[in-house]
Amino acid sequence: VDDRLAPTPAPPYTAVIFTSVRSAGDDGAYATMAAAMEHLGASQPGFLGIESVRDPVTRLGITVSYWRTEADALAWRDVAEHLGAQRLGRERWYAAYRVRVATVHRSARHPER
Amino acid sequence: VDDRLAPTPAPPYTAVIFTSVRSAGDDGAYATMAAAMEHLGASQPGFLGIESVRDPVTRLGITVSYWRTEADALAWRDVAEHLGAQRLGRERWYAAYRVRVATVHRSARHPER
């Protein structure tokens, strides 16, 4: 098992798909905040796991976080420190992003166990 | 608008979240097949868009494809050329992967238009 793939349970559960394009510059401050938010997010009720990749050249990134319920995901959206990070994201760090909240209905894996 | 972010409509629609770890080597054959499958997938009924990133160092990748309905996504899973690519994926290219099929319920974006 590769620990960069999230150990999610049998469906249903909630996925938050965050896709973003990082603006030029400010990489140090961004990395610090991203690590802090990943750490804080992992301590929230209902957190199941996270998968995250950013291409350092194109600056396109995809982060998927998994939650027991949609209410758990929305509660994390509204945590004060996270709201502050979201504001900095809109003002400084992201040229564009999409957030999509989804219910996972079925899953498959390789290897199978 | 950044064209690396998929131009999805108002929810609901289906997301297929594919997260994978590429094995070492065979990068040329893999890139050729990945491009062919991205091209063929985009021609299928119900295809809405795709977002895809792989970190060349960690070899972790996330690809999210978006579909009008879950039936459209499952039909693409079962297209013969795609089944062949999936088999090569399991046998040669992926140390591990997860596929999760989800219904998107809500979305947000930046900038707002």
When scoring B59, B62, B64, B100 by the number of chain A Cβ atoms within 10 A, the one with the most, hence best to mutate, is: B100
Q: Taking Cα atoms as reference points, which of B96, B84, B78, B93 lies closest to residue B30? A: B93
DSSP A51-112: EEEE-TTT-EEEEEEEESSHHHHHHHHT-HHHHHHHHHIIIIIEEEEEEEEEEEEEEEEES-
Please name the residue that has the structure tokens 């494809």: B65
CA distance B62 to B58: 12
pTM over 0.90: yes
Choose the closest CB to B21 out of A2, A17, A21: A2
β-sheet bridge partners, residue A106: B101
| Cα dihedral sign, B69-A63-A102-A49 | positive
Note the pLDDT of residue A113.
Answer: 73
CA distance B52 to B10: 21
**Does A99 contact chain B (CB < 8 Å)?**
yes
Model pLDDT for residues A32-88, shown as the tens digit of each residue:
999 999 999 999 999 999 999 999 889 999 999 999 999 999 999 999 999 999 999
Chain B residues whose beta carbon lies within 8 Å of the beta carbon of residue A111: 96
Q: Do A97 and B110 touch (CB under 8 A)?
A: yes
Share of residues in chain A with pLDDT > 70 (%): 99
Q: Contact, B63 vs B18, CB < 8 A?
A: yes
Q: Which of residues 25-44 of B touch A (CB under 8 A)?
A: none
- This model of the complex carries an ipTM of 0.96
CA distance A78 to A27: 25
